[in-house]
Structures are given as structure tokens and as C-alpha cells.
Structure 1
Amino acid sequence: MKGIFKKVSCFCASILCAAALVLGTAGAVWADVDDTLKQQMITTAEGLTQTIVQLTDDQVEAYSKSSDSFTTSAMTAWAGAKDELGTMKEDQKDAGETDFSEANGEYTITVPVAFEKSDAKFVYVFNESGAPTSVNVDIQYSMSDTLKRAAMNTVMGLATVFCVLFFLMFVIWLFRFIPNGSKKKTEAPAPKAAPAPVAAPVVEETADDGELVAVIAAAIAAAEGTSTDSFVVRSIRKVNRKKW
């Protein structure tokens, strides 16, 4: 019984060792394949960089009309950065090493290059099969260049704002010369003269004394030689006589 158990144990151990060897060999094969593909992409990116930076303006313009999307994007990126970079330096020791990264099934390779004016990084993107799909030129500005660009952008922004303000002030000033098309205001009529105050009627004081009226009526009748029936005394008014 012990002999059988020992044989089974040795058989299982041999199977585990064989599986470990197979898996280790497969891992080594896949690692070699990945390293080979990685090195191929790095070599391709560095070769493309050397080719791009040596193109003339006429060649860049000619390649920009290519039907290949990668070539068109590479020429567009290089045309927008070459004037700020200048000529590539012969000594690239201080530029740095090429960087490799993988994310979401894509490979990104960054090739640093030293130029006379500024350094730059050519950032390539490769697909799963190792073919380049796009490239971007990232200019590495120094701190002084960054501050100068920020100050220049600030000055340009302020200058633009003030120019717009002065233009608006000029347009508003021109409004006084533009006819508004409205009718002339009619002159207000002169105020009418206030009517003269109407004199209040003089209220004569009427004597209530019937005897006084009868005496006056008799005196008038005697003076006129008539009777009191021919006239009627309606009111009596006091006359103010001046003293001489």
C-alpha cells in the first residue's frame, strides 16, 4: 500500500514539474515576442524622427498632400513646430532616452530630440500590430520661455480689450451725427391770458323800514307833481358826499 501511494505521489509531482516547465517556456516565448515588437516600434519611431526633422519645406508641403493619415498628421505636427525648434543638434546625449508605454491596447513611444532653440518630444502612437497611427511634436519650453509667452499673452489680451473699448467709444461718439428721423417738436402754444376778474355786483342795501320808503315816495311824487302810484321805490342807497 505504501509503495502504491509513493508511486502516485511521484507521478503527480512529475506532472506538476512538466506543467511548470511548459508554462515557463511559454512565458519566455511571449516575453521574447513582446520585447521584439517593442524594439521594432522603438526603432521605427526613432527612424521616423530622423527622417522627419531632415525634410525640407518643399518636401513637407508635398507629403502633406498624401492620402495616408499618419503621414498627413506627421507633416502637420512638424510644420507647426519646426520654426520654434530650429536645427537639430548633432549631439543628442543630453536629450534623454526613448520612453515606451502601453495602455488600452495601444503603444506610446516618446522620442526626445535636442534642437538649437528648444528641445522637443516626438510622441508616436502604435496600434496592436505595431503600425504607427499618429504623431505629435511636444515642444519643451524652458521656464524663461514659458514666462515670456505668458507675459506676451497677457499683454495681447489687455491690448485687445482696450482696442475694443476705444472702438465702442468711437462708435458711440458717432451717434450724435446720425439723424434720428423723429419729427420736430411743435412749439408749445403761448399761455392764454387770464380773464379779467368780473366785478362783483354791487349789492345795495335795502331799507326794511316801510315808513321811510313811503316818506321818500311821497317826497318824489310831490317834486315831480305826480302821485305815488306812477312809480315804485325798489331800493334805497346811501350817497357819500364830500365835504367842501
Structure 2
Amino acid sequence: MRQFYKKISSVCMALLCIAALLIGCTATAWAADEIDDSVKSQLVKTTEGLTDAIIAMSEDDIQGYLESEDAFTQSAASAWDGSREELGKKKGDIDEKDITVEYSDDQYTVVVPVSFEKNKANFTYVFDKSGTPTSLTVDVNYTLAQNMEKAAMNTVMGLGTVFVILAFLILVISLFKYIPGLVEGKKKESKPAPVAAAPAPVAEPAVEDVTDDGELIAVIAAAIAASEGKTSTDGFVVRSIRKVNRRKR
């Protein structure tokens, strides 16, 4: 563990020394609108050394730098850790002639092309106006065949996703025909049982009113006796009176 931290400390000190040397030697030239040859030369040498140091980092070194509080150290470790498996081992030395330096918006951008076993990559460094490195990105240069393979894989994945969604929608739509039956079944279950209707009242037969009305009987008996030419009702008895319904013509 001690050797691990010593190794990290030594690499950090080397990077800081390079940065300090660069700032000290070219402090008067950083603010210029045009890149001075000495500044460009220092940038090329600094980025070349940083690139070699970053590529040589081990797994433990990368993990240690990822936990660093320095923003550039974290950026460099993260960029290299995300690309090293796609690149493999370094192949050949870095050619200083291929390194490009540009100055715009008060910052310097240095691109260092590096060849690896699997692919080529560009290490892009950004330095601020005072000469402090701020960020690093590693861009893998994929071949045409690799780009076509990735495009084909993306197309297949996209089409597969579309077909899966369409199949799911077809399945859902096909289940719609069962929804009315389920709704009707639930309605039938929720309806209360019908109550038996009460029997209709039976009409009682009309009872003939035979109530004896004395006065009416006496009047009718007298009328009958008069029509018979008698003066007394002793010869007959009125037992009942019945009303006869006659239709009017």
C-alpha cells in the first residue's frame, strides 16, 4: 500500500513539475494572440510527456487519481479509463510533428494523436490562459468497418425495439374484445337478486245488497196495489228489490 501511494505521489509531482516548468518559462507568451514558437514547443513536449504518463498508469493508479481532488487529474484518469479497453497497448512512439496546437477564446487546445493496437486515438488537452491544464478527452478513431458495425447494431436494436412494442400493442388490442364480457359479468354480479312480485289481489264477487228498506218497500207495494186496483197490500209481499241496469240506446 505504501508503494502504491509513493508511486501516485511521484507521478503527481512529475506532472506538477512539468506544469510549473511550462508556466515559468513561458509566462510572458501565454497571453499573446498568436502562438509563439517557444510556447508551442513547450506545449508539445508537456502534452507528450503527460500522454506517456497517462498511458502508463496502472489500474491502481487510475483508481487513485479518480479519487483526487484536482479536477484535471480526475478528468485525465476518467477519460483514459473509459477508452483504454477499446485501444489496447500503445504502438510506437508519439510523433511531435503530428501534434497540433491552437489558441482561441483565451485557451490553448493541444491534440496529440497516438497509435494503439486496436485503434488510433486523439488526446485533446485544454490549457487556460495562464498555462494550467483544465481538461483532457480521449477520442477513439474508429475505422469505417467499426463505424458500419456500430451503425448496423444500432439499426438492429432500433428495429427490434419497434417490433417488440408493436407486438405488445397488437396483444393489448386483441384483448379488447374480452373487455365487454368482463364488464357485463361484473354488472351481473353486482346486481341484487330480483324480489318476487306480490300476488295480485283477487277481486271479490259483488254481493247483492239486499238490505231491507222499509219505506221504499212500502211505497213500491202501494204502487203495485194501486196498479192492481186494490186498496190494501195484504195480498202480496215485496221480498227484495233489485236494480236493473239498462243500456241507453
With the shorter chain as reference, the TM-score category is 0.5 to 0.7
User: 1:88 touches 1:115 (CA, 8 Å); kept in 2?
Assistant: yes
CA positional deviation for 1:143: 2.8
Look up the match of 1:133: 134
Report percent identity of matched pairs. 37
Cα distance in 2 between the residues matched to 1:32 and 1:78 = 30
TM-score (structure 1 length as normaliser) = 0.56
Cα distance in 1 between the residues matched to 2:148 and 2:141 = 13
- State how 1:82-121 maps to structure 2 within 5 Å: 82-90=84-92, 97-121=98-122
User: CA offsets per residue over residues 56-107 of structure 1, 9 Å max, x none?
Assistant: 21222223233322112101110011011111112667x9821221111001
Look up the match of 1:58: 60
Change (3 A) 1:51 1:200: farther
Look up the match of 1:146: 147
Aligned AA (1:189): V
Cα distance in 2 between the residues matched to 1:35 and 1:99 = 12
Higher relative contact order (CA 8 A, sep 6+): 2
CA positional deviation for 1:159: 4.8
- Gap regions ≥5 residues in structure 2: 1-31, 176-181, 208-222, 229-233
The answer to whether residue 80 in structure 2 is matched with residue 70 in structure 1 is no
Change (3 A) 1:100 1:233: same
Change (3 A) 1:32 1:234: closer
CA positional deviation for 1:190: 3.0
Look up the match of 1:187: 193
- Gap regions ≥5 residues in structure 1: 1-29, 202-213, 239-244
Number of residue pairs aligned between Structure 1 and Structure 2 = 182
User: 1:89 touches 1:116 (CA, 8 Å); kept in 2?
Assistant: yes
CA positional deviation for 1:149: 2.4
- State how 1:157-176 maps to structure 2 within 5 Å: 158-159=160-161, 162=164
Aligned AA (1:79): D
CA positional deviation for 1:162: 4.0
Cα distance in 1 between the residues matched to 2:190 and 2:89 = 73
Cα distance in 1 between the residues matched to 2:239 and 2:91 = 145
Change (3 A) 1:31 1:191: closer
Aligned AA (2:144): M
